[in-house]
Amino acid sequence: MKSYKSRILQLTLTAVFAGLVAATTMMIRFPIPATSGYFNIGDAMIFIAALLFGPVVGGLAGGVGSAIADMIGYPLFVPYTLVIKGIEGWLVGKIARKTPKSDWVACVLGGGEMILGYFVVEVLLFGIGAALEELPFNVFQIVAGLAIGPAIALLLRKRLPSILSQV
- pLDDT score at 83: 98
Q: How many CB atoms lie within 10 A of CB 49?
A: 30
Topology at the third CATH level for domain 4-155: Arp2/3 complex 21 kDa subunit ARPC3 (1.10.1760)
61 backbone φψ class: left, alpha, beta (φ>0; ψ -120 to 50): alpha
Closest CA to 76 of 46, 107, 31, 17: 31
Mean pLDDT value across the chain: 94
Taking the C-alpha atoms of residue 12 and residue 35, their distance in angstroms, rounded to an integer, is 34
19-54 pLDDT, tens digit per residue, is 999 999 999 999 998 888 899 999 999 999 999 999
81-107 pLDDT, tens digit per residue, is 999 999 999 999 999 998 999 999 999
Domain ranges of the chain: 4-155
Taking the C-alpha atoms of residue 66 and residue 18, their distance in angstroms, rounded to an integer, is 8
How much is the pTM? Answer: 0.95
